[in-house]
Amino acid sequence: MPLPLSILDLSPVGVGVLPSQAIRDSVELAVVADRLGYTRYWVAEHHNMASIATSSPQVLIAHIAATTKRIRVGAGGIMIPNHSPLSVVESFRTLEALHPGRIDLGLGRAPGTDRVTAAALQRSDREVNSQLAELLAFEQGGFPAGHPFATITPMPSDVVLPSIWMLGSTLAGASIAAQLGIRYAFAGHFAMREAKAAIAHYREHFEPSSQLREPYAMLAVTTVCGGDDAEAVRLAAPLRVAIVNSRTGKRQPICSIEDALARRFTPDEQAIADEFLHGAVIGGTDRVAAGLRDLAGSVGADELMLSSLVADPVERRRSLERIAGACLTA
């Protein structure tokens, strides 16, 4: 069987492109991914970033699921500090009621933004793990007798939460996923150095649950597939600039290939770009197909989730088509 491949979409915003158009481009790309045979299409949650438009994943998930036919659609992820646990349970039960068997709920423990924006999103100083525990208690009816929330029934009450995933880029997320007995998605698209150890920890410490009997680990990886290796490197050049800009506090859309190739990094900026792209799979079809297979085997991933910040929607589509042709044909 082919290695399951999925897509993580951040709705990248290129220079001269309206963020609203980037959102619409993501919907069109999801339709293509559905046709090509990808397993999942996840949208991220980020805020106050000029280069990323995915700030409301629940809304986008609902529209993508209604527009596609087969592919699973989900959040990669819902950032727990930004939401009340009850609202997450009810939102995703509603999505599951509308699209049975096609919704995934990925949960992240970071706010997905800068400190000032996080303060604007959050009106509580509660510790994130207590919010996670509350979310699961709402779903499973786990509040003890006498707890003020024990009388609350999340609606729709006849629907259970869809497939739950714990997101992470450290051993902490791996430990939580293993302890809860849920699926684990590692953020290798920006922290690949820690991937092998985290997934191994998850597998070693996994405790079977009613939701999942065996561990299941997915690895996100930055992937750009061009017509050949040289074209892929060109397509990925703006990504290097976007990461450096983001990490150094510059709020800018993703620049053009020409501007990216003309950019000269300082040593510190070069180190930022190199670290982010460590483990990225960038090249022509043959290089990418072999690289993805080797990566999944070496890290111990059951599934790969491809992330690309190529702003041009036509080039993103072509990249996915090339990968599907090489990797998703039995």
Three-state DSSP at 241 gives: helix
Secondary structure (H, E, C), 126-186: CCHHHHHHHHHHHHHCCCCCCCHHHHCCCCCCCCCCCEEEEEECCHHHHHHHHHHCCEEEE
CA distance 319 to 102: 24
Q: Give residue 120's pLDDT.
A: 80
Q: Give residue 196's pLDDT.
A: 97
Residue 66's Cβ-side half-sphere holds a number of Cα atoms within 13 Å equal to: 9
Q: Give residue 129's pLDDT.
A: 87
Q: Give residue 330's pLDDT.
A: 53
Q: Give residue 111's pLDDT.
A: 84
Q: Give residue 112's pLDDT.
A: 81
Kindly give the parts of the chain with pLDDT less than 70.
1, 123-125, 330
Q: Give residue 65's pLDDT.
A: 98
Domain CATH for 251: 3.20.20.30
210: which DSSP letter?
Answer: S
Tell me which amino acid residue 9 is: D
Q: Give residue 123's pLDDT.
A: 61
Q: Give residue 164's pLDDT.
A: 94
Nearest to 197 by CA among 170, 215, 178, 177: 170
The count of structural domains within the chain is 1
- Find the domain containing 23 and state its range: 5-327
CA distance 169 to 193: 10
Nearest to 311 by CA among 105, 17, 2: 17
